[in-house]
Structure 1
Amino acid sequence: MLRLLIVEDEQLTREGLADLIDWASIGIRIDGLAANGLEAVQLLAAQPADLLLTDIRMPVMDGLQLIEEVRRRDWPTTCILLSGYGDFEYAQKAMRLGVTDYLVKPCSPDDIRSLFVRVAESLREERRRTDRLKGIESRLRASVPHAKSEVLRQWLRHPPVVTEDRRLQLKQLGMSVAFEYPLVIAVRIDHRSLDRYDERTSDVKLVTFAASNIMKETLEQTLMQPIEIVLEQDLLVAVGNGLFEWMEEKVAAGAAKLKDNLQRYLRLSVGIGVSDPKPTLNELHEAFREAAEALEFRFFLGASVVYRRDAERWKAGALPGRLRQAEMLRVEQAAIEHLRAGLFAELLNDTEAWLTAFQGEYTQSREDIHGQTIAFLSRMLQTAAEIAPPGTDVDADPARIREQVHGVDTFEELNGIVYRYIRSVVEALQSRKPMKRKVQQALDYIAERYNESGMSLAGAANALFVSSAYLSSLFKQELGVNFLDYVHQFRIEKAKALLQSTDLKIQAVAREVGYFDEAHFTKTFKKWTGMLPSQYKKETQL
């Protein structure tokens, strides 16, 4: 039972508060009644209460002075204010003093009961959390590393409870991080990197353990400070300290080095999210939320390392004209109708508009976008299978679609999957039709000059004596792909052959196929294959 002290100078009101409500039914018992703040302080000094319901205006010591005294003596009492309509300024001050809630007179017994049901449950939940923390602390001597991880997880998930002293816990646990200015670096391993382990739990745990060791060693070297590492949900989380004014370059170098080391030693590609520093460890849950949110924005931004401020800038600069759900459904229907009519250029244009709509405003999660994409592709492939000539093979396996879509880590990779499916559909439906002469000439032109850095739609159109718009439309209609995407896919296929059959370095392969910026080549390769060139090279040369 929670103990309640009622403080009210009017006797009838005081006794009515005690008698008109069935306090026992909500797990509360009346521990005392007081006519003013001074009487309440004397009662609390003799027997502290869990809950305090006090009026504002009272003789001797009013409600605000009582609450100030409770706070000064550091009594663990949850305070609730009973105020009149004219007491708004007093109520505001009370809220600043840490009052949990307030009731405005006159109020019904049902109003009072409802408020105390909510407050009592919140207090019980806080105590349950406190008990869990105490349980963790009691096991410290038996298992300090485990207890340290459990406490860190609690801090990452929740703000501190009233009785919690994190500075003291740091000392008791022997944690290496400081109390002030914590920041969080969260790492998520890309889905494809774990595919080779066939979901064998022991192998995945071993790889995760090795990754956490590499993470700790790398970040401690580059940040030049102790780091705590913990596994939270599906993320490897590093907690360090420092303000960006003097840590920014070190954090950037550490994140880049960590990404390289995980790829080099474990063949893992990862996404990294970095929070803003927070004033103290009491706000660690906010830092973790920021780092995890930054990781979610990696899907849209495509970068391997995303800072919280990058995510905020992306949200602030998002395109204002996002298509509404009804409009997106209209575009989907138009795409299906164009597919049925054999208007493949229009199908591709509709799909480009549909994909662009997702980037207009950050209102949908990655899971939502995955689900809509799977539904759209399944519908498109089913339609293609229905209209395809007999004997034409259209891959419409929904399980394969789900696997591929859920395996992507960025929105750009998702685009690549959608466009590859459209190209395969158009190729299947056009397989028995002769290719237009200008398209074949354009393909020959690309095959001869694909490794030239200046390859462009305008250059190919000039060579074939047609307009860029005509050649672009022709490509979409005949091949189901736009000109530049075809060039990129052609180059990537050539790069894959070189990676399989030669010992050329990645930079050399990139130049051989027409990319003179290795970073651009790597990003393009991952978009169209779902893996990094280095991953592909190692896996195909085993």
Structure 2
Amino acid sequence: MNILIVDDEVIIRTGLASVISWSELGLNLLPPAASAEEALERLEEERPDILMTDIRMNGKSGLELAEEASRLLPGLEVIILSGYGDFDYTQQAIRQGVGDYLLKTSKPEEIIKTVLQAKQRLMERRLKESHAQRLAREDRVRQLQRWVIGGETEAAASILNEEGVRPSEGLWQVLLVAAEGWGTEGQAASLLSFAVHNMLVELLPHTEVFIYEGMNVCVRRASMEGRYEGTIERIEALLKCRLHAAKGTCVHDYKQVHQAYVTAQIAFTYYPLLPGGHLIDYNEVSGRQGGRTVLSQEEENGLGRILLEQDAMGLKSWTRTLAEALIADPECTPLSFKACLQSAAVAAHRWLERTLRAIGREDGARYEPCLLEPMEGLKQRDILFRHLHGIMSLYHTKLAEGQTSHVQRAKAFIESCPPRELSLQQTATYVHLHPGHLSELFKKETGSTFGDYVTGTRMRRAMELLSVSPAKVSEVAAMTGYEDVKYFSRLFKKHTGKTPSEYRDHMLNTYV
């Protein structure tokens, strides 16, 4: 498609001609014209598809040029350039049916969007005018989708025959490209995808490019892959957007192109975990075994303390630190990342249930599970934070319902404190009482001493760990605050009637 710029100010027309890489938008820039009269003389021979003209010029105005040019070239797309003082002219241009208008002070990206919209309108009109061409194009896209997405190799035959390519020759590779940065509205996202598609077609010759579910899918010979990085950077620079790209493994036969697409999809799921890179190669992530999928006891304890203290900033920092630690693991995968964040939500649910039960407020305190959508990556971290913040708010709402005694607040602290750190002094400090006074209140309100209550709490935690964790008995003892495993075992049997090993075996047999 041809574009002609018309302006009697040399700085404007040369600036528009040079500031934008028109060829990368799939447009051929004709030599700019210095007047409406010059443009009219050249119209018949050069036949521009898009005319971008100043609204006020010496001689004929841009409106007069637009009117005459549209008569000479029906279907011409006209974009009017105006200044802040040209409001009346702009209104007249709209009444005359001019396609678009821009202020001369518009940023390059705004000019690009407007020109691409004009190009899109032209293409849509031409497709409507040529029903056969439109059907052929749609059929080609369907064949590409059947071949690449669906794995139907029969669909590839006609495509490859048209290109004069022997199907078994060379290596094949699939590149997936998604873009963001023009807003989340459907029209803006669609236009950006269309703009990226145009540039991929121009910058990656001999490549089949089609849009599938908002993503550009490129199928090309692997021998040309060296141009990927430079292409991505050029598109980002010109369109002022952010691209996320992933390439699959190289395959030796067109029948394996679907497998190349599958591996590109797998690679693409890693982009939220590797935010610093433009292009993710399947070969660089395929060997990952998966990072950890559960919180450490220390992390869970830290989360409990933050929830108890109603520390929103601390909660945001804790969530960010967890996500960063997971991403830093070279074995981390999208699945393990999601699983560990999900385990944080489960840990918070357990804390909420235990703590509300301890203060006698558990009735009606139900919270929906945390739903982390696939391929959200770092957005999953934000979803988790909002979920944890909701749990924290629910707890403190329950706490505010009626009076809460010092003993109830002490019980909540005990549930949130690491077992090995539990002490009367520390708990009394939290509830702002003298240790002796808290001890008396505890005995009076619960019927047991502070020490007995803490022991019961530790035993319940030990029972949980033995039920779900493969940790050794000595490790469970240490995690619940006992360095002497024999003493721990005696206390555990006194509390449950079974040794730790017997209890674990019983629980395993119960769920088999």
TM-score of the aligned structures, taking structure 2 as reference length: 0.38
TM-score of the aligned structures, taking structure 1 as reference length: 0.36
Larger radius of gyration between Structure 1 and Structure 2? 2
